[in-house]
Amino acid sequence: MSTTASPARPRPTIVLVGHGMVGQRFLEALAERGLTATHRVVVLCEEPRPAYDRVQLTSYFSGRTPEDLSMTDPGFLTEHGIELHLGDPAEAVDRAARTVTARSGLTVAYDTLVLATGSSPFVPPVPGRDAEGCFVYRTIEDLLAIEEYARSRATTGAVVGGGLLGLEAAGALKGLGLDTHIVEFAPRLMPVQVDEGGGAALLRTVEGMGLTVHTGTGTQEVVTGADGAVTGMRLSDGSELPTDMVVFSAGVRPRDQLARDCGLTVGERGGIAVDEQCRTVSDPHVFAVGECALAADGRVYGLVAPGYEMAETAAAAIAADEDGRKSFTGADLSTKLKLLGVDVASFGDAHGTTDGCLDVVYADSRSGTYKKLVVGRGGELLGGILVGDAEAYGTLRALTGSVPPIAPEQLVLPAGAGAPAQLGPSALPDEAVVCSCHNVTKGTVRGAVTEHKCTTVPEVKKCTRAGTGCGSCVKVLGQLVTAELEASGVEVDKGLCGCFPQTREELYEIVLALRITSYRQLLDRYGREAARGGDGCEVCKPTVGSIIASLAPTIGADGYVLQGEQAALQDTNDHFLANLQKNGSYSVVPRIPGGEITPEKLIVIGEVARDFGLYTKITGGQRIDLFGARVEQLPLIWTRLVDAGFESGHAYGKSLRTVKSCVGRTWCRYGVQDSVRMAIDLELRYRGLRSPHKLKSAVSGCARECAEAQSKDFGIIATANGWNLYVGGNGGATPRHADLLAQDLSDAELVRLIDRFLMFYIRTADRLERTSVWLERIPGGLDHVRDVVVHDSLGICEELESLMAAHVAHYRDEWATTIEDPEKLARFVSFVNAPDTPDPVVGFVPERDQIKPDLPLLAIGTRPADTVLEGSAQR
């Protein structure tokens, strides 16, 4: 008896229309369920590149490349046999025949069709909206077009829309060098996310960055010139705004035309209607996910986290596995973003729509900080808004719906303002969601550590997907992982890096106690066994170099950072005693103590800038930056500056930058002390002091605080009885007011306490740790620091003062030392094998009677100055 084999049945086909962030997540969800092995998967993509991170789109202007933004791991599509057709969007769907036809004519039969077509920018129907110079802000191609037009045709730009994308677009135009305006129809910026108070705080900060904001007014017409290009805008309040280009960012609309054309049900205001499994209500073979879908709760979700959840839901329904009952019934609209460098977050019932709820508000208009928590009748946290300081966002969002373990008014107080220690992730219940992008709970993170034996944040990310979306939960993840490991009795490696098991503080003590003067000696004696004899890493080399430099006079080392082995430990900036700029040129920043300068020295700076063609800018720290110097020009420039009496301003190093001051009692009728003299004395005392992070200071001559001393690492404010000393301010991206350490000090008392404070910080801080972060991290906080520095509770103040005295006594200007030594000058060339050849990539274009870097968009951030001739040493 013979048998005939049956022909193999063709694999069922899944067609995905759209390959954005949600589309990529859908493909990953298919792969996780094994469907890419049992199905043919075809993707039709309109854009010329695979899925990229649209949330981080603006970072493209800061140097990230399309490859950096890509969300498709190399080999993922090939590994899973996914057919991706780029630049070939779907144009027609025949639901009866179950086929999709692409622009190229390609027709694909499907068993399941998934629409992930996203959304399109809404452009108000105003006259002139299609004129030359009008753009939308949605894709990388849009950004390329904006950049090209801004470079060639525009000096002023206007953004229509003051929401999330509008502010990002405004930041991009500002970064391109345009005078930038924001036009928002609502009475405040970001009207959906923040309330009136949050909008006011955001407005002050945005205007402080030099952007002009027009709220409560709309666009009536885009005005054009004889050539058809944009020349201005006519606003609804009757005013006219001159502008060379207009970027529309006034919201988005679901891209549902493909669904409309094939007869699928869409909502009255757009969006493809789907059920709780994200299956269209019109056709069981068609799904819709992301911004194109009208969810079962009647909403279109414009955030990536709900889109990811919809992608998971659709994949589960298609798989019909044990997870096939997964449903999408709504999503958390919480969001945390950094817009124009400002943290903005909202979560839960941010606008207080719940009956009987109460608001708890903290606002500081000076720092641009606004925090509001919405609390229910029973004390439960319902939601909140954070502007300027969103450090607690991850914890607060996870606590939404529960009663916090401490009073809500304590949750909004800033560090150093009387609040208890910040509420940490350990206070969260296991069911609290710590990653809203992928709906990962604290319990899941704990399980990754205890059950799946993850010991690092990257391992937890890979296991749970937490932290792989917007990234706002990564800090909380780190705290949870550490806490869980310690609770399990696992010793957490707190070493500086893979080369050293010791912390930075421990290495400092070793170097000081044993008078170790070289990195090699320290690595060979105290490094991990696997690292001994090696070359070290990019973490420990500059860290140890900084420790040796700060202790050089005491331990008998040469403190000059380019001497011998020390030179090999420095990063690019220290390596050339100048700040590397993004086109490969360098900046020159001479020290101007206290901001006081004679006319003669001003003339020298002007002549140097003129003769070398440098861009000049007065900084916020009362100095003058000279930008655009080629590496081989640096010694020539500094020779002239040193001859005129200038010293290095150490803008390139982790050291003291400036001590800013007002004019004090010498000139000001409100001044009560000589702030200029004190600022000069302090800057000259602490110049060149190497530390874990850069240091800034200021001296105000009275309580009116014109020098902004409370925003510095150490700040001094004059009183009728002497000086008040504040410490731990600054904070960089996380602003923090300094805390009062001591008050009514004499000159000698003030200097002595600053000596102690700085050396105690240098001794105990972690690498790259600001004084603000250090003050909050160190056990006991400000009280402990005060006990040590003021009351000498550890008995080390004499040693701290001695270390500072040694630094002051042995200070020497690094540039003066450099230009005296021909061997040291030999390093200042672009190419070591062709020292007379300037870097051909370094170029400039004119702007406002000066220069700016001449960089095409794709080159930004790619370190063109690292281009070397064959055989030469890279920087």
- Every domain of the chain with CATH number 3.30.413.10 lies at 652-812
Would you give the distance in Å from CA 623 to the centre of its chain? 26
- If you ran DSSP here, which 8-state letter would residue 778 be given? S
Q: Is 499 annotated as a binding-site member?
A: no
Instruction: Give the model's pLDDT for residue 765.
Output: 92
DSSP 125-154: --TTTTSBTEEE-SSHHHHHHHHHHHHHH-
Spatial CA neighbour of 702 closest among 736, 739, 662 = 662
β-pairing verdict for 656-661 and 695-700: parallel
Which class for 226: exposed (0-12), middle (13-18), buried (19 or more C-beta within 10 A)?
exposed
Residue 825: its H or E element: helix 822-825
The whole-angstrom separation of Cα 132 and Cα 457 is 48
* Class for the domain spanning 134-250: alpha beta
Instruction: Give the model's pLDDT for residue 322.
Output: 45
Which class for 367: exposed (0-12), middle (13-18), buried (19 or more C-beta within 10 A)?
buried
Q: Mean pLDDT, 10 residues at a time, over the chain (875 residues)?
A: 52 95 95 93 94 81 71 87 95 96 96 95 92 93 90 92 87 86 92 85 85 93 94 93 94 93 94 95 96 92 88 92 67 71 82 88 79 90 86 79 81 58 65 76 86 80 78 74 78 80 91 91 88 81 89 86 74 78 85 91 94 90 90 93 93 91 88 93 94 94 88 93 92 77 94 97 91 84 89 92 94 91 85 72 84 60 35 29
Instruction: Give the model's pLDDT for residue 863.
Output: 36
Instruction: Give the model's pLDDT for residue 295.
Output: 93
Residue 736 has phi, psi (to 5 degrees) of -145, 135
CA angle 369, 331, 403 (to 5 degrees): 60
- Every domain of the chain with CATH number 3.50.50.60 lies at 13-119+254-319, 134-250
- Yes or no: say if 405 and 418 are a contact pair by the CB < 8 Å rule: no
Q: Is 662 annotated as a binding-site member?
A: yes
Q: Which two tokens stand for residue 799?
A: 């040693």
- If you ran DSSP here, which 8-state letter would residue 664 be given? G
The whole-angstrom separation of Cα 754 and Cα 502 is 28
The whole-angstrom separation of Cα 629 and Cα 586 is 5
- Yes or no: say if 584 and 863 are a contact pair by the CB < 8 Å rule: yes
Would you give the distance in Å from CA 588 to the centre of its chain? 25
Asked whether the CA dihedral 685, 516, 574, 504 is positive or negative, the reply is: negative
Q: How far apart are the first and last CA of the chain?
A: 79
The whole-angstrom separation of Cα 203 and Cα 195 is 12
Instruction: Give the model's pLDDT for residue 191.
Output: 86
Residue 410: its H or E element: helix 408-412
On the CB side of 618, CA atoms within 13 Å amount to 7
Which class for 296: exposed (0-12), middle (13-18), buried (19 or more C-beta within 10 A)?
middle
* Class for the domain spanning 652-812: alpha beta
Instruction: Give the model's pLDDT for residue 256.
Output: 95
Q: Does domain 13-119+254-319 have CATH number 1.10.10.410?
A: no
The whole-angstrom separation of Cα 556 and Cα 517 is 7
Q: Which two tokens stand for residue 349?
A: 């019932």
Instruction: Give the model's pLDDT for residue 757.
Output: 97
Instruction: Give the model's pLDDT for residue 558.
Output: 80
Helix (H, G, I), strand (E, B) or coil at 198: helix
Residue 26 has phi, psi (to 5 degrees) of -60, -45
CA dihedral 482, 485, 488, 494 (to 10 degrees): -90
The whole-angstrom separation of Cα 418 and Cα 420 is 7
Query: Using only C-alpha atoms, what is the Rg of the chain?
Result: 30
Q: Is 706 annotated as a binding-site member?
A: yes
In single-letter form, the type of residue at position 122 comes to: F
DSSP 483-515: HHHHHTTPPP---SSSS-SS-HHHHHHHHHHHT
